[in-house]
Amino acid sequence: MKKGLLLSLLVLPLILWQISSTALSPYNSNDYHLKTVVIDAGHGGKDSGCLGSKTKEKVIALGVSLKLGEYISKNFPDVKVIYTRTTDKFLELKERADIANRNGADLFISVHCNASASKQGYGTETYVMGTHRSNANLTVAKRENSVVTMEEDYQAKYDGFDPNSDEGHIRLSIFQNAYREESILFASLVEEQFTTKALRNSRGVKEAGFLVLYKTTMPSVLIECGFLTHSSEEKYLNSEAGQDKIASSIFKAFSQFKELIDSSMDE
Ligand SMILES: [Zn+2]
């Protein structure tokens, strides 16, 4: 059995129990149902994201995001789907979170692709805001956060954040989302679907400090759909069928999450 699946099988019953109990305090204070989702295709415009041998992260992320949005709109016409971008344009990290906050989104999904210097790494990872427990997680956060240097006055906008400093990332990870448990639940469902539906190598649910997640006020995840630096995974992610499988797996997790959240409020 894959490690990621085993982990989600162990963790999921505990989280589901918490959902059905009164532990969901942020939800209990509102009449919360999953009505609005923000889908954030990572990077764009002058920011290509990581590079494969012939692919760019910004292109794959947009492809998966649009497909995911289509699945949700088609199957849940009452759910409002908002994209941070639908074209190849540059967006500041803060603006992505602001779009979700301004629209009162109930879930924020940021879609990305991974890269590794060794070219050996492959598989999926879903991140929630939190303290990284390994250097590998820190490396991913550093790479994703490094794009702030393309923004003007980024230190002023991000509380003096320095993308090159380990300490900066540790400080950043202290900003934990109030919806941490729900974020972990959704992340677990996504990784489980990647394993069972898309037959990917799930590297599991992980934590690190991401600038795109630290100011969102709803359950929020950052999905690394696979490694563009791994030749066969790059080929998969660059194909229609591969992108469709990834998107439909995230959609399946979305459906499960929505059902759990909505039914916990109907009780
Ligand atoms: Zn990225």
pLDDT digits (tens, 9 = 90+) for 121-162: 999 999 999 988 889 999 999 999 999 999 999 999 998 899
Say how many Å lie between the CA of residue 112 and the centre of ligand 1.
4
Say how many Å lie between the CA of residue 130 and the centre of ligand 1.
17
Say how many Å lie between the CA of residue 6 and the centre of ligand 1.
26
pLDDT of residue 25: 41
Say how many Å lie between the CA of residue 13 and the centre of ligand 1.
31
pLDDT of residue 267: 58
pLDDT of residue 11: 53
Say how many Å lie between the CA of residue 163 and the centre of ligand 1.
14
241: pLDDT strictly greater than 70:
yes
The pLDDT tens digits for 75-120 are 999 999 999 999 999 999 999 999 999 999 999 999 999 999 989 9
Q: Which amino acid is at 185?
A: L
pLDDT of residue 22: 38
Say how many Å lie between the CA of residue 265 and the centre of ligand 1.
34
Longest dimension (CA), the chain: 51
The CATH classification number of 3-13+34-260 equals 3.40.630.40
Percent of the chain having pLDDT more than 90? Answer: 75
Tokens of 75: 């199957």
The pLDDT tens digits for 186-236 are 999 999 999 999 999 999 999 999 999 999 999 999 999 999 999 999 999
At residue 94's C-alpha, the angle toward residues 89 and 97, to 5°, is: 95
Say how many Å lie between the CA of residue 15 and the centre of ligand 1.
28
Work out the number of other CB atoms within 10 angstroms of the CB of residue 220.
30
Say how many Å lie between the CA of residue 209 and the centre of ligand 1.
13
pLDDT band at 171 (very low <50, low <70, confident <90, very high): confident
Say how many Å lie between the CA of residue 10 and the centre of ligand 1.
29
Region class of 199: left (phi > 0), else alpha (psi between -120 and 50), else beta = left
Say how many Å lie between the CA of residue 249 and the centre of ligand 1.
19
Say how many Å lie between the CA of residue 252 and the centre of ligand 1.
22
Q: Mean pLDDT score of the chain, rounded to an integer?
A: 89
Say how many Å lie between the CA of residue 61 and the centre of ligand 1.
8
Q: Is the torsion defined by CA of 80, 247, 218, 103 positive or negative? A: negative
Transcribe the chain into DSSP letters: --HHHHHHHHHHHHHHHHHHTTT-HHHHTTT----EEEEEE--BTTB--SB-SS-BHHHHHHHHHHHHHHHHHHH-TTSEEEES-SSS----HHHHHHHHHHTT-SEEEEEEEE--TTS---SEEEEEES---SHHHHHHHHHHHGGGGGSTTHHHHTTT--TT-HHHHHHHHTS--TTHHHHHHHHHHHHHHHHHTS---EEEEEEE--TTTTT-SS-EEEEEEEETTSHHHHHHHTSHHHHHHHHHHHHHHHHHHHHHHHHHHH-
- Rounded mean pLDDT of 35-53? 98
Say how many Å lie between the CA of residue 212 and the centre of ligand 1.
10
Say how many Å lie between the CA of residue 12 and the centre of ligand 1.
27
Lowest mean pLDDT among 34-43, 111-120, 172-181: 172-181
Say how many Å lie between the CA of residue 197 and the centre of ligand 1.
23
Laid out side by side, the sheet with 80-83 consists of 80-83, 36-41, 107-114, 220-227, 124-129, 202-208
Q: Is the torsion defined by CA of 133, 214, 154, 87 positive or negative? A: positive
